[in-house]
């Protein structure tokens, strides 16, 4: 299986959300994570992000889903890009306030750098978190 196929499988497992258990086969040991957004400022590993997604999509906003608008792969930089819109409603426990029953439709991008073993070595999430948090009634 190639790098782009593994990147797709990782994306689907992460968004499901399957947590680290469902994503780890597609990720290199010690893979780094970064995002320039407040809810994720303390998350520095792909493992940590996968578990954050499990908590958000599995507990705080159960039933969350996404629309994938575009997926691409650059062989030269070994980078997969996924652009989607995440749809979630805060009906479960978690978050800074009790369930608001408000929803967000927030755009985001994953940039996944794949290693020579075709596994995710680095992940960058591009997301306007303040927009999403305001829609959820958290800000």
Strand, helix or coil for residue 129: helix
- Cα–Cα distances (Å) from 101 to 55, 61, 84, 91, 118, in that order, read 17, 9, 22, 5, 40
Mind listing the pLDDT tens digit for each residue in 104-134?
A: 999 999 999 999 999 999 999 999 999 999 9
Whether a cis peptide bond, with omega within 30° of 0, leads into 17 is: yes
CATH architecture for the domain at 3-135: Roll (3.10)
pLDDT digits (tens, 9 = 90+) for 25-71: 999 999 999 999 999 999 999 999 999 999 999 899 999 999 999 99
Answer for the pair 81, 110: CB distance below 8 angstroms, yes or no: yes
């Amino acid at each position: 299986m190639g790098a782009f196929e593994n990147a797709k499988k990782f994306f689907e497992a992460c968004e499901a959300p399957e947590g680290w258990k469902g994503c780890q086969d597609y990720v290199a040991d010690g893979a780094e994570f970064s995002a320039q957004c407040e809810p994720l400022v303390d998350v520095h590993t792909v493992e940590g992000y996968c578990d954050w997604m499990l908590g958000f999509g599995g507990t705080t906003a159960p039933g969350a889903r996404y629309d994938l608008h575009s997926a691409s792969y650059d062989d030269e930089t070994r980078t997969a890009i996924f652009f989607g819109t995440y749809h979630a409603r805060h009906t479960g426990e978690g978050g800074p306030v009790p369930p608001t029953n408000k929803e967000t439709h927030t755009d985001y991008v994953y940039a996944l750098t794949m290693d020579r073993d075709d596994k995710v070595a680095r992940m960058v999430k591009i997301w306007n978190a303040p927009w999403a948090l305001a829609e959820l009634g958290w800000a």
